[in-house]
Amino acid sequence: MRPSIMKRLFRRVASTAVLGLLAATLSTTTAAQPAAAAGGLQQVTGFGSNPGNLQMYAYTPAGLPANAPLVVALHGCTQTANAYYTNSGWPKFADKWGFAVVFPQTTSANNSLSCFGWFDPAEDTRGKGEAASIVQMVEYAKQSYGSDGRRVYVTGLSAGGGMTADLLAAYPDVFAGGSVASGLPAQCATSQAAASGCQTGPQKLTPAQWGDKVRGAYPGYTGPWPRVAIWQGTSDYTVYPANATALRDQWTDVWGIGQTPSSTDTLPGNTTRSVYDDASGSPAVETYSVSGMGHGLPVSPGSGDQQCGSTAAYFLATICSTYYTGVFWGLDGGTPGGGGGQLPAPAGVTVTGTTAATASLSWNAVEGAASYEVRRNGTKIASPTATTYTDTNLTAGTAYRYTVAAVDGSGTAGAASAQVTATTTGGSTPAQCYTATNYAHVTAGRAHTTGGYVYANGSNQNMGLYNVFVTHVLKESPAGYFVIADSGCTG
| Per-residue pLDDT tens over the stretch 79-129 | 999 999 999 999 999 999 999 999 999 988 998 889 999 999 999 999 999
Which residues, at least 6 apart from 286, have a Cβ–Cβ distance to it below 8 Å?
228, 229, 230, 273, 274, 275, 276, 328, 337
Give the Cα separation of 273 and 263 in Å (integer): 8
Confidence bin at 7 (pLDDT 50/70/90): very low
Tens of pLDDT, residue by residue over 270-315, are: 999 999 999 888 899 999 999 999 999 999 999 998 999 999 999 9
Sign, Cα dihedral of 139, 146, 98, 329 = positive
Which residues, at least 6 apart from 100, have a Cβ–Cβ distance to it below 8 Å?
58, 59, 60, 61, 64, 68, 69, 70, 71, 94, 141, 145, 147
What is the pTM for the complete model shown?
A: 0.66
Phi-psi region of 67 (alpha: psi -120 to 50; beta: other; left: phi over 0): left
Query: How many CA within 13 A on the CB side of residue 173?
Result: 12
Give the Cα separation of 39 and 291 in Å (integer): 34
Q: Quick one: the chain helix, strand, coil %, rounded to 5?
A: 25, 25, 50
Residue 196 bears catalytic tag: no
Q: For strand 371-376 and strand 399-407, is the pairing parallel, antiparallel, or unpaired?
A: antiparallel
Q: DSSP per residue over 51-114, as a string?
A: TT--EEEEE--TTPPTT--EEEEE--TT--HHHHHHHSSHHHHHHHHT-EEEEEE--TTTSTT-
Query: What's the order of all strands across the beta sheet hosting 350-354?
Result: 350-354, 359-362, 388-391
Give the Cα separation of 168 and 67 in Å (integer): 21
Query: What's the order of all strands across the beta sheet hosting 482-484?
Result: 432-437, 471-476, 482-484
Nearest to 269 by CA among 316, 207, 220, 218: 316
How confident is the model at residue 147, as a pLDDT?
94
Tens of pLDDT, residue by residue over 223-259, are: 899 999 999 999 999 999 999 999 999 999 999 999 9
Which residue in the list 158, 282, 321, 477 is annotated as catalytic? 158
Give the Cα separation of 205 and 183 in Å (integer): 17
Give the Cα separation of 22 and 297 in Å (integer): 12
CB 105 within 8 A of CB 78: no
Tell me the residue length of the chain: 491
The interaxial angle of helices 207-215 and 159-170, nearest 10 deg, is: 70
Tens of pLDDT, residue by residue over 423-478, are: 998 865 567 899 999 988 988 889 887 767 888 888 888 898 888 788 999 988 77
Nearest to 234 by CA among 327, 318, 114, 328: 318
How confident is the model at residue 271, as a pLDDT?
95
Mean pLDDT of 133-139: 98
Give the Cα separation of 193 and 241 in Å (integer): 20
Amino acid at 339: G
Amino acid at 260: T
Nearest to 309 by CA among 479, 319, 450, 478: 319
